[in-house]
Amino acid sequence: MSILSKLFGGGSGPKQAASETHEGFTIMPTPAKEAHGFRIAATIEKDGQTHQMIRADTYASLEVVSEASISKAKQMIDQQGDRIFN
């Protein structure tokens, strides 16, 4: 039965962080599954514009990488602001 629930999304796995707002930008963590864990990634949106942020850092835990993705996105927003979309 557990195989069927995993196939159809019924399994309860680790939760990733919810989206956050920072300086008018919406940050949605989107960690990418890698062979040895998860890669830092997030979608940053503002006023209909979207930027896909991907970093080389990887973590074993989905929860930790989701938090790190939000942290890196906030740092990018603080450094670049609206230039993220150029």
Domains of the chain, by residue range, sit at 14-85
pLDDT of residue 3: 56
C-beta of residue 62 within 8 angstroms of C-beta of residue 76: no
> What pLDDT tens digit does each residue of the chain (86 aa) get?
455 444 555 544 555 578 999 999 999 999 999 998 999 999 999 999 999 999 999 999 999 999 999 999 999 999 999 999 99
C-beta of residue 19 within 8 angstroms of C-beta of residue 1: no
Please state the φ and ψ torsions of residue 61, each to the nearest 5 degrees.
-100, 130
pLDDT of residue 73: 97
Position 18, amino acid: A
Q: If one looks up domain 14-85 in CATH, what number appears?
A: 3.30.160.350
Residues 6+ apart with CB under 8 A from 73: 22, 25, 27, 29, 42, 44, 53
